Structure 1
């Protein structure tokens, strides 16, 4: 049996979309605060403590494994594109740690009595295509009957333990580079509400952060994170706290996808973005920056770029790290 995927708008079968459906960072921190515990050994190089993109365990002197998992509800209506985006987003966590993905397993939730399972096959086919682009094995996975469609991957990679990209390694005086433009959240929300398709946003989301990660390592960077559901400002707050520094953002230097500013001005701002802004506002000096600019900087990204403490060739510099102040982030308009 064949199914016309166009008659099903997948974004209408979920309450949120993409990384905008993440649990708000403030709520997450409160839950995890008492669960840190002591590591079993010093071989756990990166754990829960700094809220980094993946866990890292040393296996031998020059070899460590990077482990992560990421999944979310549909961010676009096309099942194949959703699969590609979700896979690129999951793989990004390994790249954000300076690693190379080796093997992934699928994580699938599907409302089997509501949506044809042929659509799920297209989702998985999209994930497999991106994993192959990354030269990453896909070795199976796990699926459940779920009221909402959800898809992602658990990924294992390898890295040099002495050349990791960590969110707690920021140093004052270092520039900040951003490897993908912002605005994915507002464009995705506009797509969900109107059905308009934004091919340039899909192209950005399916693009692997492989080249950016390699360029950052070759440039000598040791501090990075990827920009996803907590928005640029949310991830920057976490990086600044973990590194004991303050981040200064030059707002006019931040790049945006075509149509993002117009979409934000027209009200296509997700609830996840507004929660991001509410969380970072007490810890950020915005000066007189307009609310629309604040929302864009807090826009909940899906499969965004890397935020690197260091100069990455071909990527704009959007600010710098400075000595710690009373704020985590200072935004200059």
Structure 2
């Protein structure tokens, strides 16, 4: 099914947000300029295994010979109207940053912004319950958090995890000859944009956004993979560009092999494209050899995902191969 129509929710959470999910991120080019101002050009402390340099998904700090702490935070505005589902999606997305570097989540604290004079507090319980249920599935403790009175609803988690410092998944460890695998189909962004505009519910999108990346992360480590990232607000092209740039390679994408959620091409055809997706495409276009592919193909590849899958430089069971890394060429991304 592409979508279902049901009685509209009494309160549609997506109508209280200027953006939705990871599509409300600060544009990647602006964000990189901000972060660049924080770097002094000196060498990172040896204990900081993953930091600010390449925009990895989480920070990783070695605490002794065989252990490292993983730290991350992620929150966003409502991507669906159902508060319980929004809580589940936001928690899954936050935990993904730990899995994306090869870690296992240990404890999380909630991050909540709520317009207490506008939206009923009863909805907050459902949001937090959704986050707690996902964390329990991931065997991650939830211990308190922080809340503020905010004109716009926001929810997410700060997550701490553990990893083996000798078996990390890094964004800068790609090498020529490695296949590129993708563990979830694309199209979450256009379906969420349609949901916000029409109220249609897309179970396939909710199922994708609430699927934890833990199994994929563990499968990648078991296969000896050392390079990965997750696909979220910057879209497949944006996150693949960051991986290829950090690794000093070019990424060659087989467009026909990229999987999409049912209903995604139709949502694009009907014009449900977020501003975040268009900003993603504008950012990568100077570094992209698009070949014969037109704007519709590029917009789907740049579609701003919320709680997307892992993008793996390697092969893991069940994940389609969508391209390969090749020696650095004139452009960092090539489509074929």
**What TM-score bracket applies, with the shorter chain setting the length?**
over 0.9
Distance (whole Å) between structure 2 residues aligned to residue 41 and residue 27 of structure 1: 26
Query: Which of residues 252, 255, 271 is equivalent to 1:251?
Result: 255
Distance (whole Å) between structure 1 residues aligned to residue 232 and residue 150 of structure 2: 24
Q: Deviation at 1:290?
A: 1.4
The 3-state SS of whatever aligns with 1:50 is: coil
Q: Structure 2, unaligned stretches of length 5 or more?
A: 1-7
* CA-to-aligned-CA distance 1:204-256 (integer Å, 9 cap, x gap): 10000011001111111000000000000000010011111110000000000
- Which residue in 1 is equivalent to 2:12? 9
Query: Which of residues 69, 75, 80 is equivalent to 2:73?
Result: 69
Distance (whole Å) between structure 2 residues aligned to residue 189 and residue 212 of structure 1: 27
- Which residue in 2 is equivalent to 1:200? 204
What are the equivalent positions in structure 2 for 1:187-226 lying under 5 Å apart? 187-226=191-230
Q: Deviation at 1:41?
A: 2.3
- Structure 1's consecutive aligned runs of 4 or more residues displaced over 2 angstroms after TM superposition are 37-41
Report how many residues are paired.
328
TM-score (norm 1): 0.97
* CA-to-aligned-CA distance 1:307-331 (integer Å, 9 cap, x gap): 0000011110000000011111101
Distance (whole Å) between structure 2 residues aligned to residue 139 and residue 221 of structure 1: 32
- Which residue in 1 is equivalent to 2:183? 179
The 3-state SS of whatever aligns with 1:239 is: helix
Distance (whole Å) between structure 2 residues aligned to residue 122 and residue 256 of structure 1: 30
What are the equivalent positions in structure 2 for 1:304-315 lying under 5 Å apart? 304-315=308-319
Structure 1 residue 132 corresponds to structure 2 residue 136: yes
Judged with a 3 Å threshold, the aligned counterparts in structure 2 of structure 1 residues 114 and 57 are, in CA distance, closer, same or farther, namely same
Structure 1 residue 327 corresponds to structure 2 residue 331: yes
* CA-to-aligned-CA distance 1:37-75 (integer Å, 9 cap, x gap): 346621000100110000000001110011000000000
The 3-state SS of whatever aligns with 1:7 is: coil
What are the equivalent positions in structure 2 for 1:1-333 lying under 5 Å apart? 6-37=9-40, 38=42, 41-332=45-336
Distance (whole Å) between structure 1 residues aligned to residue 79 and residue 62 of structure 2: 35
Q: CA RMSD in A?
A: 0.9
Distance (whole Å) between structure 1 residues aligned to residue 203 and residue 83 of structure 2: 14
